[in-house]
Structure 1
Amino acid sequence: MSIKFLAEDDRPREKFLLKGKNSLSDSELLAIIMGSGSKDETAVELARKILASVNHSWNQLSLLTVKDLTKFKGVGEVKAISIATALEIGKRRANQEIPEKPQISGSRDAYDILKFHLSDLRTEEFWALFLNQSNKVIHIAQLTQGGINQSIVDIRILFKTALEHFSTGIIISHNHPSGNLKPSKEDIDITKKIKEAGALLNIQLLDHLIITQNSYISFADEGIL
């Protein structure tokens, strides 16, 4: 159904779903927070009136109390609290520091992250670091959990995860509970397949680490990537 045939209170939500949150105007965002208008105005019309009263400033709107907001016809306590709560969440989000993403400059950096997940396990697991163009880690994931001797990764899941996080590079890793750092034929084969798959998707396989309790080996450092 076309958006224009929907009730106006429903149109912002439909627009959100069809076109994304960035497509919504300030009044449409506020209308979604309120949920409905009054018997004389739609939620969008009421939102326009409220925003116009504060010169379309979210900062000014955040200064209004629940009592101030309920002066608008169609805004009861529940809607006023919803508006104030949404603005408070935005304020707290703005005040939070964005944690610095670790940057990978070599195999040691990757090992320092992955060893906490892999070094003391009794069974094999397969993990991956997903990196952006600056080689900063944007996601870490455990992809498989194996038996005593092997953990087989599904390449489709690996690259599905990479695409979901808009990664341009990945570092894969698994542990050898036996303590043997030597790559097996299976380790080399799966590395080759992942590298080839990544080339097709323009996602670079940067390294493969095998981790034991106290050490690691890097395919990139050893020239076998």
Structure 2
Amino acid sequence: MSIKFLAEDDRPREKFLLKGINSLSDAELLAIIIGSGNKDETAVELSQSILASAGNNWHQLSLLSIRDIMKFKGIGKVKAISIATALEIGRRRARQEISDLKIISNSNDAYLIFKNQMSDLRTEEFWAVFLNQRNKIIHITKLTEGGITQSIVDVRILFKTALDHFSTGIIVAHNHPSGNLKPSKEDIDITHKIKEAGKVLNIQLLDHLIITQDSYFSFSDDGLL
């Protein structure tokens, strides 16, 4: 049964037009993206199944691969890509909202910058925020991406980027896909290297954050800088 045979109130597109987007459930929003269901489920019912598999959590759904999404009956490559694209649009919108924060005053401010970039990644990435003397954000960039357990940053590239943007302060961050917030020996070593290199160039390492799905560890707050 396709959406067109449902009662008008149950048609996501028509409901959108009649009552507004806020009237739609998560499953109805996803149903609009996939367009149609399968021979046993309407698009809304299929969407409910997909969301239920991810604990009805958009973040958990965003962690599924295209192959994972295609395991659902009626979801081919095109629909799976459409779902992944919609989730990425939402992620990028969140990043742009956070980027309105112009000055970083503490570790939580920095965390808000990084979490939308890194909290739901399956592999480690190393990012940096470059600041001026008033701790105003000049530039944000990803420097490296690695495997499941580590991402190594080239200190020379980090400081070349800082010099290119006339930065006087740096906050770096990397994620732990495992969810473990405890810094490893490698994390501590690279933090020390960055700090010491910054002293030579008069560019201060203000903090190093470890990001997980729902929390962070701050080297500065923990007295490790």
TM-score, normalization: structure 2?
Answer: 0.55
CA distance in 2, matches of 1:120, 1:195: 27
1:138–1:115 CA distance, 2 compared to 1 (3 A): same
Structure 1 unaligned residues grouped into runs of 5+: 1-98
CA distance in 1, matches of 2:136, 2:125: 23
Match of 2:220 in 1: 220
CA deviation digits over 1:50-75, x for unaligned, max 9? xxxxxxxxxxxxxxxxxxxxxxxxxx
Q: CA deviation at 1:140?
A: 0.1
Match of 2:208 in 1: 208
**Counterpart AA for 1:165:** H
1:189 aligns to 2:189 (yes or no): yes
CA distance in 2, matches of 1:106, 1:100: 16
**Counterpart AA for 1:120:** D
Match of 2:112 in 1: 112
Task: Decide whether the 8 Å contact of 1:101 with 1:138 is kept in 2.
Answer: no
CA distance in 1, matches of 2:172, 2:141: 10
Match of 1:121 in 2: 121
**Counterpart AA for 2:203:** I
Runs of 4+ in 1 over 4 A off after TM superposition: none
Match of 1:179 in 2: 179
TM-score, normalization: structure 1?
Answer: 0.55
Structure 2 unaligned residues grouped into runs of 5+: 1-98
**Counterpart AA for 2:155:** I
CA distance in 2, matches of 1:156, 1:119: 26
Larger Rg: 1
* Structure 2 counterpart SS, 1:144: strand
Match of 1:51 in 2: none
Q: CA deviation at 1:100?
A: 6.5
* Structure 2 counterpart SS, 1:115: helix
**Counterpart AA for 2:128:** A
1:182–1:197 CA distance, 2 compared to 1 (3 A): same
Structural mapping, 1:16-35, within 5 Å: none
Q: CA deviation at 1:120?
A: 0.2
CA distance in 1, matches of 2:102, 2:190: 26
Match of 1:144 in 2: 144
**Counterpart AA for 2:170:** I
Task: Decide whether the 8 Å contact of 1:118 with 1:125 is kept in 2.
Answer: yes
CA distance in 2, matches of 1:224, 1:130: 20
CA deviation digits over 1:70-98, x for unaligned, max 9? xxxxxxxxxxxxxxxxxxxxxxxxxxxxx
- The percentage of aligned residue pairs carrying the same residue is 76
**Counterpart AA for 1:200:** V
CA deviation digits over 1:117-142, x for unaligned, max 9? 01000000000000000001100000
CA distance in 1, matches of 2:152, 2:204: 20
1:165 aligns to 2:175 (yes or no): no
CA deviation digits over 1:96-129, x for unaligned, max 9? xxx9661010000000011010100000000000
Task: Decide whether the 8 Å contact of 1:133 with 1:168 is kept in 2.
Answer: yes
CA distance in 2, matches of 1:168, 1:224: 20
* Structure 2 counterpart SS, 1:222: coil
* Structure 1 counterpart SS, 2:172: strand
